[in-house]
Amino acid sequence: HDIEAILDGSELDAEVIARAKAVFLEIAKAEAKVHGTTVEEIHF
């Protein structure tokens, strides 16, 4: 996922990065369910 690369390349604190990734994962799960696809197919 592109957002993971952006977060990993940032200078944010590791805890902030982990929380942001967790939030985006939950959003991806919801998007995947709504659109009848997989989390892997969701792009931000």
Domain edges within the chain:
2-41
Contact between 42 and 31 (Cβ < 8 Å): yes
For residues 39 and 25, what is the distance between their CA atoms, to the nearest angstrom? 8
Residue range 2-36, pLDDT digits in tens: 999 999 999 999 999 999 999 999 999 999 999 99
Contact between 33 and 42 (Cβ < 8 Å): no
**pLDDT beyond 70 at 41:** yes
Torsion of the alpha carbons at 13, 18, 24 and 28, rounded to the nearest 10: 160
pTM of the model: 0.84
